Amino acid sequence: MDSKGQELAFVAEQVRAAGADVMTVDVGTLGEPTATPDVSRREVAACHSGGEQAVLGHIDRGRAVTAMGEALVEYLLREHAAGKVAGVIGIGGSGGTALVAPALRALAIGLPKLIVSTVASGNIAPYVGSSDVTMMYSVVDVAGLNRVSRQVLANAAHAIAGMVLHRSSDAGGRRAVGMTMFGVTTPCVTAVRQQLEGRGLECLVFHATGTGGQAMEKLVQSDLIGAVLDVTTTEVADEVVGGVFAAGPARFDVIFQKRVPCVMSVGALDMVNFGAVDTVPERFRGRKLHVHNANVTLMRTTPDENRLFAQWIAGKINRFDAAVTVLIPEGGVSALDAPGQPFWDPEADRALFDGLEEMVTPSRGSTELAEVKRRIVRLPLHINDPAFAAALVDAFLELQHEPG
């Protein structure tokens, strides 16, 4: 509120006029606030792990904004946990957007959150990530009130008020299961989904494009998904090798931290994803490539790479006290990994399968709940065989009844 106080006060006035209660929060880092906030910057800054001085003691604006953003994450999570947050709206230029976006991303899926920003007409992926943050382009800079900014900010205020005051009460009524899928694992995931839906479960399928896996895990974190069938873990290949659908370093963490029932497989770990063929990095040009379409080029993974994938996955599994079952389809991990298909390579697959079997610790003693069991099950089936889908369902249903 050191530079946007007038505009924020206007937004607050409009939200109140629409019938919602408002709490204004100052996240300024330099000059004094130009409007009186309900929550001071010092209160927010005190939520930083390094204390108030770690935020407000910087002369450099960039460092101060980054630190305030970190403090705001903790402040909003605290207030939300206490039941005090029904929705959040922030406004700003590139600096303000970078400051508030991480805090909004950290909040649960479904909680209304909106940012009016000067950067909202460009690439907003860094700000939104896998969350449901709504971005609204400010059209003019957020620098004073005028005939354009008043209308845009009023629209934003009415939008957040509407989202807060008219929340959907439909929780679905069925337990939700998250599933990951690629085109090359579609027959498997479709068969599993149909079987689980027949048992009254609601299946949410995510395209394994990096953000897809992250979106699934955001819903796990938000308690909107209570179990996971992570069939298509191809994002790990892109994370390790450098493809365009990278898992991100935190992939799997929240699933195991929340201890939700989890059955995994190795779907599409025979491939790394790139864009159009002419975008494939020079160092990979001599590798086995398959043009999936004009915008997607696939590269067959090697035995050494598959060994690294096993190490990456096993490291995640072994790190947490959570039960997990990993089913391995020895007959191939994707539609392209089968006899007569371009990615059929039993040696590369074997490196992945053997690596997982060697590296995943079968159990980790006992917890206050029960012994934590980790199972690696190898089946002489292709991932898209109906029998493999049935095995996934059986393993999933079995895990539902086990503690831990």
AA letter at 95? G
Is the pLDDT higher at 86 or at 363?
Answer: 86
On whether the CB atoms of residues 349 and 303 are closer than 8 A, the answer is no
45-49, 60-64, 193-197, 324-328: the lowest-pLDDT one: 60-64
Is residue 171 a part of any domain in this protein?
A: no
Asked whether the predicted pLDDT for residue 367 surpasses 60, the reply is: no
Mean pLDDT of 140-168: 94
Of residues 369 and 315, more confidently modeled = 315
Judge whether 64 lies within some domain: yes
Same domain, 185 and 160: no
Are residue 147 and residue 229 in the same domain, yes or no? no
The answer to whether residues 197 and 322 belong to one domain is: yes
* 157 shares a domain with 131: yes
The answer to whether residue 365 scores a pLDDT higher than 80 is: no
- What average pLDDT does the segment 370-383 reach? 86
Same domain? For 391 and 318 the reply is: yes
pLDDT at 172: 52
Report in angstroms the alpha-carbon separations of 367 from 230, 322, 323, 370, 372. 24, 10, 11, 5, 7
Mean pLDDT, range 314-323, rounded to an integer: 91
Out of 112, 141, 165, pick the residue that ends a domain: 165
Q: How many domains does the chain have?
A: 2
Residue 319 covered by a domain? yes
Number of residues that make up the chain: 404
Asked whether residue 37 falls in the same domain as residue 110, the answer is yes
- Give the mean pLDDT of the chain: 92
Strands 289-293 vs 296-300: parallel, antiparallel or unpaired: antiparallel
What pLDDT is attached to residue 369?
Answer: 42
CATH number of the domain encompassing residue 362: 3.40.50.12030
At 2, list the tokens. 């050191």
Residue 73's pLDDT band (boundaries 50, 70, 90)? Answer: very high
Q: Which residue has the higher pLDDT, 381 or 293?
A: 381
Clarify whether residues 153 and 203 are in a common domain. no
Q: How far is residue 380's CA from residue 371's CA, in Å, rounded to a whole number?
A: 28
Query: What are the tens digits of pLDDT across the range 12-34?
Result: 999 999 999 999 999 998 889 99
Q: Region 227-232: what's the mean pLDDT?
A: 97
Decide if 55 contacts 71 (C-beta within 8 A).
yes
Question: Taking residues 175-198, what's their average pLDDT?
Answer: 95
Q: Please give the share of the chain, as a percent, with pLDDT higher than 90.
A: 83
| Domain membership flag for residue 273 | yes
Indicate whether 10 and 90 sit together in one domain.
Answer: yes
Q: What is the 3-state secondary structure (H, E, C) of the chain?
A: CCCCHHHHHHHHHHHHHCCCCCCCECCCCCCCCCCCCCECHHHHHCCCCCCCHHHHCCCCHHHHHHHHHHHHHHHHHHHHHCCCCCCEEEEECHHHHHHHHHHHHHCCCCCCEEEEECCCCCCCHHHHCCCCCEEEECCCCCCCCCHHHHHHHHHHHHHHHHHHHCCCCCCCCCCEEEEEECHHHHHHHHHHHHHHHCCCCEEEEEECCCHHHHHHHHHHHCCCCCEEEECCCCHHHHHHHCCCCCCCCCCCHHHHHCCCCEEECCCCCCEEEECCHHHCCHHHCCCCEEEEECCEEEEECCHHHHHHHHHHHHHHHHHCCCCEEEEEECCCCCCCCCCCCCCCCHHHHHHHHHHHHHHCCCEEEECCCCEEEEEEEEECCCCCCHHHHHHHHHHHHHHHCCCC
Domain-ending residue, one of 165, 184, 199: 165
CATH of the domain at 66: 3.40.50.12020
Q: Evaluate if residue 371 carries a pLDDT over 80.
A: no
Q: Looking at 165, 193, 214, which one is the last position of a domain?
A: 165
Mean pLDDT of the region 48-55: 92
User: What pLDDT is attached to residue 167?
Assistant: 86
Can you tell me which residue has the tokens 């873990």?
233
pLDDT greater than 70 at residue 223:
yes
Are 129 and 148 in contact by the 8 Å Cβ rule? The answer is: no
Read off the pLDDT of residues 209-221 as tens digits, 9 standing for 90 and up: 999 999 999 999 9
Residues 98 and 124 in one domain: yes
Residues 315 and 388 grouped into a single domain: yes
Q: Mean pLDDT lowest for which of 5-9, 186-190, 249-253, 318-322?
A: 318-322
In whole angstroms, what separates CA 45 from the centre of its chain?
26
> Is the distance from CB of 69 to CB of 28 less than 8 angstroms?
no
Residues 391 and 327 in one domain: yes
Section 121-149 average pLDDT: 92
pLDDT score recorded for residue 222: 86
pLDDT at position 40 is 96
- Residue 333's CB is within 10 A of a number of other CB atoms, namely 32
Report pLDDT digits (tens) over 274-309: 999 999 999 999 999 999 999 999 999 999 999 999
Q: What is the CA radius of gyration of the chain?
A: 24
**Which structural domain, as residue segments, surrounds residue 180?**
176-400
How many Å apart are CA 216 and CA 225, to the nearest integer?
8
Instruction: Flag whether 54 is in a domain.
Output: yes
Domain assignment present for residue 373? The answer is yes
Checking if the pLDDT of 49 tops 80, the result is yes
Please check whether residue 134 lies inside any domain of the structure.
yes
Residues 6+ apart with CB under 8 A from 368: none
* Averaged pLDDT for residues 102-131: 93
* Residue 170 placed within a domain: no
Identify whether residues 195 and 274 lie together within a single domain. Answer: yes
